Structure 1
Amino acid sequence: MDIKEVLCLLCQRCEETNITGALSTKDEVTAHQNCLLFSSGLYCRNSPQSDDLFGFSVEDVLKEVKRGSKLMCNKCQTKGATAGCEVKRCKKSYHYPCAVRHRAEIVEDAVKGKYVLYCSKHSQQTQENNGSVNGHPSSSAQPRTSKRQSEAGSSKFPQHPTFLAAAWRLFAANRRWFRAVRERVFKRCSSSCSHSTTRSTMSKKLLVDADCGLDDAQAIMLALAAPNVELLGITCVHGNTTVENVCKNILRVLQVCSKLEIPVFKGAAKPILGNSIDAGHFHGQDGLGDAPDPNAPGLDLVQKEGAVSAMIRIVNENPGEVSLVALAPLTNLALAVKMDPSLPSKLRGLYIMGGNTESRGNTTVCGEFNFTADPEAAYIVLNDYQCPTYLACWEFTCYSKLPWEFCDDWLAQDTDKARFMARVFRHRIEASQSERLQKDLAAGFVSCDSYAMAAAVDDSFITESDRYPVSVELTGTYTRGMMVMDTVGFLKKAHKACIMKKVDMEKFKQMMMAALK
C-alpha cells in the first residue's frame, strides 16, 4: 500500500525517531512532538492528546512557522529554525533535530514543563564550570524570554501547570498512543496491516560508508527519499576517487537533497596494505562525472571527528538499532572492528555492495572493485563481523539490470535532483559503452550500490538468497581480492552471509524514481 509522505512543518522531515518523537496532525497541520516542545515561541495550551498536536494550538504553530521562516539554522544553514538557544544574548537557532546533531545541550523537565536547549557554547555545564558566557559573568546570561512569557511563565504549560505537567508525564510515559498517531498521520486503510507493512513504516537508523561515485550518490538519494529512514551519518573512504573528493561529493548530494544537516566524516585515504586504486575511468576523476559545480559546499562542513571514531560512537549510542551500509572498500569498517571488537554485536545488520560469486572480476581477472581496493579490509570484515550480513555482489547486480528506457524516464523527471543526476551521469553512460564494460553493462542500467541500500531500507526487498560462509582470497596472482563462497563447509565457519540472488525489481524501480522526485 502506498503511504503518503507527511512532513513536520517545523523541521521539514517525515521520519519519526527517538530524536523527533511522534508526528501528530490537526487541521492539516503536522508536527513532531519534540519540534513543538522545543520551539522557543510555543506553549502548550491544552491537555496533551496524541491526535491534536499534543495540546498545542494550530494557530500558535502556524505563527511559529512564520517566525521561523526568518531564522537560519546554525547547523544546516536553511531557514525555519524555531528552536533557539536559551541564553538571551545568543542568536543561534536550529531545527530541533539539527540541534541534537550539533551537540546542543537538551534540558527536559516534564515535572516543571521545561523543554529548552543550549548551544554548545552556552551549555549549562560550561556556564557552571567557567562562571561566564561569551566572556561575561554567567549572571548576565539570562534565559531567552518569549513574547508570551508573561502569559506562560517559564513552563511550556501556561494554564494549570501542575495538572498539565502531570498529564504530559502520563502521556509521554504511555507509548500506546504511537500506533494511533501513525494510523492518523499515514491514514492506513486497515488496522490489520501485515507485519512487513508495519515494519516498513518504522524508522530505520542507517549509517552509510561510501566512496561517493555515481552509484553511491544514487544509493544515498534513495535512502534520503525513504520515509522510514533516519540517516545518522555518512563516513567517507578512499575508492572511486580520493577521500577528499568523496567528502565533496557527499556534500553535493546532501545539498541537492536539502539534507546538509546530516553529518559527514572523513575516513581512510588508502588501503591497509598496498597501493590505492580508483575508478576514474568509470565515475570520472572527481567521482561524479567531472561535472562542474560552482555552488558545491565547502569541506568546512565535514565533521572534525574521524570516520572510524564516529562509526564506533554512533553504533554504541544506538546499540542494536543501526544498520551499517557499506558501499565502498571496507577499510573504515576493518579499522573500526580492530579498535572496538564488540562493534559488530551492536549492529542491527550489515549491508555490503561488494565481492563476487562466480569469479567474474570488474577490476582484475577475478576481483570486484570494492574488495580488490582493500582485500585485507574485506577479509577482516567478512570474518570479524558476526552480525546479520547481506551481500549485493557484482554478478547479482549485473543480472538485475534496469532497461535504459527506465533510466531515460528516471532522469527526465522535472526536479533539481533529476537535473543534478543527469549532469553527473553523462560520463557513466559513455563509459558503459566501452568494450571492456560492454558485456556487463551496455545492455542495461546498473546502480550497484543502490541494491544494497534498498535491502537496508526495505526488509521485503530481497526475494531469493543463498546463505554461505564467505571470506576473501589474499595471495593469488589473479585471485587476490576475490570473494570465496564456501558451499561445502571447508572454512568451518558458523557465520553465514545472506547473498542476494533475486530482488523485487518493481519495488526497486519505485524506490529509484522516488530518489529523484
Structure 2
Amino acid sequence: MTEKVILDVDTGIDDAMAIVYAARASEIELLGLTTCFGNTSVEGATRNTLQLLELLGREDIPVSMGAHTPWKRGHLKEPAVHIHGEDGMGNHSLPLPKIEPTGKHAADVMAENVLRYPGEVTLICVGSLTNLALAIEKEPAIIEKVKRVVVMGGAATVKGNITPHAEANIYTDPEAADFVFQSGLPVTMVGLDVTMQTLLPKEQLEEWQNIGTPLSGFLYQIVGFYMNAYLTQGINGCALHDPLAVGAVIDPAFIKTKPMHIRVDCSESETIGKTVSLPGEAPNIEVALEVDAERFNQHFLSLVN
C-alpha cells in the first residue's frame, strides 16, 4: 500500500537526496512538493526542485512555492552558502527548468490535499515549519484529518548544529515549529538525535562517479560539495538528515520513537530554537531516539544508485 505524501522542502543538498529517494520509492505516492525558504531563498529552492524533477523524468509531480519569510518574525538565519553552495544545491550544472510551479501557495496545497484525502495524507517537512503553520492557521480542520506529520528537525538529547542549542530547521522559524508541535497534529520529530548516526561514507562518491548516469554524476557533484563542508567539522562523510525523514515513512521500523513533550525556545536569548523536553508534561509529539542506520542507508542507496 502506498502512502500519499506531500514533501515540503527548502531544496539544498540533503533535500535533493530526499526528493530522489521519495520519487523512486514504490511505497510513496508524491502528491506534490512544496517549497520554503531556508537553505536558500524560496525562489532558489523552487528552481532547484524543478531542475531535479526534470533530471529524474518526474515532471508529473507538481511543485508549489510557499513562504519567503518566517511566520512571525524577521529572518534569523541566512542561506547556508558554505554548506549548500551559492545556488543552494552544491553549485550544480543542471539547466534552468522548463516546467514551472503551480501558482498555488504551498500552505493551500497542503490543506487541499489533506481535506481531499482525509486520514490518508502524510506531510514530510524537511525545512522550516512555516508552510505547515500557515496551513493550520488557514485550515485548522487539517489537524484532525492529516494521517501524520514527519518533521526533520530538532535535537532532543544532543547538541544543535547551527548553534550549540538549536538544529537549523527549527532555528529558521522557531515560532512556527512551536505552533506545529502544540497544535495537536500527530507529529514525529526526526532530529539530530538520529540523523547524525546515518553517515554516508566518502567512498560512496567514487561509486556514483563510476556508475556514470546523469543522476549519479549529479549526486557525485552535489554530495561531494556537502561532504567537503562536513570535513571542515572533522567528519569524513555526510549525514542523511532529510532522507531519513522520508525513510521513516517508507519503513517506520527504521526508527524507534518515544512520546515526549517538546517545546521550542522562542526567546531572544542564545538558546532560541532549542527543542526543550519537559518530562513532567503530557507528551505532545513522538521523538525518534534510535535508528537502524545500516539498514536505512542500504535501502536509501538501493533506490538512489
Normalising by the smaller structure, the TM-score range is over 0.9
Change (3 A) 1:359 1:429: closer
Report the Cα distance in structure 2 between the residues aligned to 1:390 and 1:407, rounded to whole angstroms: 31
The yes-or-no answer on 1:393 pairing with 2:191 is yes
Displacement of 1:355 after TM fit?
0.7
- TM, length-normalised to structure 2: 0.93
Structure 2 unmatched runs, 5+: none
Question: For residue 501 of structure 1, what is the aligned residue in structure 2?
Answer: 289
Change (3 A) 1:214 1:231: same
The yes-or-no answer on 1:466 pairing with 2:258 is yes
Question: For residue 281 of structure 1, what is the aligned residue in structure 2?
Answer: 82
Q: Which amino acid aligns with 1:473?
A: D
Q: Which amino acid aligns with 1:512?
A: F
Change (3 A) 1:406 1:505: farther
Report the Cα distance in structure 1 between the residues aligned to 2:257 and 2:210, rounded to whole angstroms: 33
Question: For residue 231 of structure 1, what is the aligned residue in structure 2?
Answer: 30
The yes-or-no answer on 1:242 pairing with 2:41 is yes
Listed one character per residue, the Cα deviations across residues 104-131 of structure 1 (whole Å, up to 9, x for unaligned) are xxxxxxxxxxxxxxxxxxxxxxxxxxxx
The yes-or-no answer on 1:450 pairing with 2:251 is no
Question: For residue 299 of structure 2, what is the aligned residue in structure 1?
Answer: 511
Displacement of 1:359 after TM fit?
5.4
Question: For residue 332 of structure 1, what is the aligned residue in structure 2?
Answer: 131
Report the Cα distance in structure 1 between the residues aligned to 2:295 and 2:283, rounded to whole angstroms: 32
Report the Cα distance in structure 1 between the residues aligned to 2:206 and 2:117, rounded to whole angstroms: 40
Find the structure with the greater CA-based Rg. 1
Q: Secondary structure, in 3 states, of the residue corresponding to 1:324?
A: strand
Q: Secondary structure, in 3 states, of the residue corresponding to 1:465?
A: strand
> Percent same amino acid at aligned positions?
32
Change (3 A) 1:425 1:417: same
Question: For residue 485 of structure 1, what is the aligned residue in structure 2?
Answer: 277
Aligned residues of 1:407 and 1:445 also touching (Cα < 8 A): no
Matches within 5 A, 1:137-286: 202-272=1-71, 273-275=73-75, 276-286=77-87
1:420 to 218, 226, 229: 218
Question: For residue 297 of structure 1, what is the aligned residue in structure 2?
Answer: 97
Change (3 A) 1:265 1:259: same
Report the Cα distance in structure 2 between the residues aligned to 1:514 and 1:206, rounded to whole angstroms: 21
Report the Cα distance in structure 2 between the residues aligned to 1:494 and 1:466, rounded to whole angstroms: 9
Q: Secondary structure, in 3 states, of the residue corresponding to 2:257?
A: strand
Listed one character per residue, the Cα deviations across residues 188-237 of structure 1 (whole Å, up to 9, x for unaligned) are xxxxxxxxxxxxxx111110100000000101111111112100001100
The yes-or-no answer on 1:350 pairing with 2:138 is no
- Of structures 1 and 2, the one with the larger relative CO (CA 8 A, separation 6+) is 2
Aligned residues of 1:410 and 1:516 also touching (Cα < 8 A): no
Change (3 A) 1:368 1:336: same
Cα RMSD after superposing both structures: 1.7
Q: Secondary structure, in 3 states, of the residue corresponding to 2:122?
A: strand
Question: For residue 201 of structure 2, what is the aligned residue in structure 1?
Answer: 403
Report the Cα distance in structure 1 between the residues aligned to 2:65 and 2:166, rounded to whole angstroms: 26
Aligned residues of 2:262 and 2:283 also touching (Cα < 8 A): no
Q: Secondary structure, in 3 states, of the residue corresponding to 2:179?
A: helix
- TM, length-normalised to structure 1: 0.56
Structure 1 window deviating more from structure 2 (221-230 vs 320-329): it is: 221-230
Q: Secondary structure, in 3 states, of the residue corresponding to 1:290?
A: coil
Aligned residues of 1:223 and 1:515 also touching (Cα < 8 A): no
Displacement of 1:476 after TM fit?
4.7
Q: Secondary structure, in 3 states, of the residue corresponding to 1:208?
A: strand
Change (3 A) 1:400 1:425: closer
Structure 1 window deviating more from structure 2 (406-415 vs 236-245): it is: 406-415
Aligned residues of 1:251 and 1:297 also touching (Cα < 8 A): yes
Q: Secondary structure, in 3 states, of the residue corresponding to 1:515?
A: helix
Report the Cα distance in structure 2 between the residues aligned to 1:248 and 1:509, rounded to whole angstroms: 28
Question: For residue 364 of structure 1, what is the aligned residue in structure 2?
Answer: 163
Q: Which amino acid aligns with 1:280?
A: V
Report the Cα distance in structure 2 between the residues aligned to 1:329 and 1:318, rounded to whole angstroms: 24
Report the Cα distance in structure 1 between the residues aligned to 2:209 and 2:27, rounded to whole angstroms: 24
Report the Cα distance in structure 1 between the residues aligned to 2:178 and 2:201, rounded to whole angstroms: 34
The total of aligned residue pairs comes to 303
Q: Secondary structure, in 3 states, of the residue corresponding to 1:402?
A: strand
Q: Secondary structure, in 3 states, of the residue corresponding to 2:79?
A: coil
Q: Which amino acid aligns with 2:214?
A: D
Listed one character per residue, the Cα deviations across residues 442-477 of structure 1 (whole Å, up to 9, x for unaligned) are 143311101111001112222x33221111011151
The yes-or-no answer on 1:429 pairing with 2:221 is no
1:375 to 174, 187, 191: 174
Report the Cα distance in structure 1 between the residues aligned to 2:58 and 2:282, rounded to whole angstroms: 41
Listed one character per residue, the Cα deviations across residues 67-124 of structure 1 (whole Å, up to 9, x for unaligned) are xxxxxxxxxxxxxxxxxxxxxxxxxxxxxxxxxxxxxxxxxxxxxxxxxxxxxxxxxx
Report the Cα distance in structure 2 between the residues aligned to 1:359 and 1:309, rounded to whole angstroms: 34
Matches within 5 A, 1:92-107: none
Listed one character per residue, the Cα deviations across residues 396-432 of structure 1 (whole Å, up to 9, x for unaligned) are 2113323333454355434321111112223212211
Report the Cα distance in structure 2 between the residues aligned to 1:395 and 1:226, rounded to whole angstroms: 25
Listed one character per residue, the Cα deviations across residues 156-183 of structure 1 (whole Å, up to 9, x for unaligned) are xxxxxxxxxxxxxxxxxxxxxxxxxxxx
